[in-house]
Amino acid sequence: MLDNVWRKGRDFLGVKSPIMAGGMTWISDFKLVKAVSDAGGFPVFAGGNMPPEMFEAEVDRLVAEINKPFAVNLITIAPFYRDHFEIIKSKKVPFVIFAGNFPKKREVQEMSAAGKKTISFASTESIAKKQIAWGIDALILEGSEAGGHIGNVSLMVLLQQVLFNVKDFPIFVAGGIATGKMMAHLLLMGAYGIQMGTRIVMSQECNAHPDFKQAFIKARARQAIATPQYDSKLPVVGVRALKNSGMDNFGKLQLQLLKKLEAGEINREKAQYEVENYWAGSLRKAVQDGEVEAGSLMAGQSVGLIKDIKPIKEILAEIISDAEYELDRIKSSICYMD
């Protein structure tokens, strides 16, 4: 039964299992991409704000050594975004995922003209329809339960707003997903597949520091909180992470930047750059150095469902097995009702 409900997603992505491993800065590196690809999933490489020369070298390695479809994640609000964008246009990268904020119409069309399949996130019904009209090839509905940069609407509402109303279009879902049972129900609702980030962090192949992973194991769902925006003068994309002093320091940074904006000491673009620079730096401290108190522990609320570290192949096999079991259970229940 699983083959029937996820066939469209498999065909679109060109992989065995339409399970996307979310592109996570400092985490979704070549090693993780290869592991996900070898396990039959759909891997996403995250360039983050990597220096252009390093980014190009990593992309060249991916193209040369990954023989199945994969995507490169481009963060539209990152300082090196334009450099990354131009590099990807000239490379044989099959999929591009726009993240951080929504791409411009011309950016979608440029990537399509360069032979890439384009994917973006949709946090509302209107944004979804606008991007479809622009020619985006697929969308990811990511609920606010997710980790990292997030929108303001929960997946439960997005499913009803977008998935149920947009027909015959590739839509993948993300945010709070960590089990095969949930994937089974989402596929039955019409999703082409799922994306997981927090669950993938808890893989043996993930390069995150052991202390970073242990923080995830100890965490409860309610401890993964979202950052507030203090003032519309400084628009910030919400970030969900485990509460620690790093989260508190971000609040202090916002207040400092707002004072500088009011005093004319800094413009809004520079202030937003400082915000993104903060998150990139604090995430690196946590992921690479194990600084779990002052660093950023970006995690979705599904962190409360994950208590072990396994190889990628075992994680995906478990997700698939549980999904198949759940679909059989649902089928039996429906037949019994008849």
Q: With H, G, I as helix, E, B as strand and everything else as coil, classify residue 138.
A: strand
For position 33, what pLDDT does the model report? 97
Instruction: Mark whether 151 and 245 lie in a shared domain.
Output: no
268 located within any domain? yes
Residue 319, domain member (yes or no) = no
21: helix, strand or coil: strand
> How many CA atoms lie within 13 Å of 27's alpha carbon, on the beta-carbon side?
33
Short-list 201, 143, 152, 151, CA closest to 172: 143
Average pLDDT over residues 42-65: 95
State pLDDT tens for residues 89-108: 999 999 999 998 889 999 99
> Taking the model in full, what pTM does it have?
0.93
pLDDT at 276: 80
Residues 60 and 74 in one domain: yes
Q: End of a domain among 269, 289, 309?
A: 289
Phi, psi of 239 (to 5 degrees): -125, 130
Calculate Rg over the CA atoms of the chain: 19
Do 26 and 163 lie in one domain? The reply is yes
Q: Do residues 29 and 45 touch, judged by C-beta distance below 8 A?
A: yes
Residue 104 belongs to a domain: yes
Residue 304 lies in a domain: no
Three-state DSSP class for residue 329: helix
Residues 112 and 236 in one domain: no
- Whether pLDDT at 323 is above 80: yes
Inter-residue contact 19 to 194 (CB < 8 Å): yes
How large is the average pLDDT for residues 268-284?
Answer: 85
239, two tokens: 């970030």
Q: Which domain holds residue 186?
A: 2-207
Q: What pLDDT sits at residue 336?
A: 60
Same domain? For 7 and 139 the reply is yes
Strands 117-122 and 95-99: parallel
In a domain, residue 46? The reply is yes
Total domains in the chain come to: 2
Name the DSSP letter for residue 310. B
Share of the chain above pLDDT 90, in %: 75
pLDDT tens, 9-19?
999 999 999 99
**DSSP for residue 42:** B
Distance CA 258, CA 252 (A): 10
Q: Which structure tokens are listed for 47?
A: 């360039």
What digits encode the pLDDT tens for the residues 170-203? Answer: 999 999 999 999 999 999 999 999 999 999 999 9
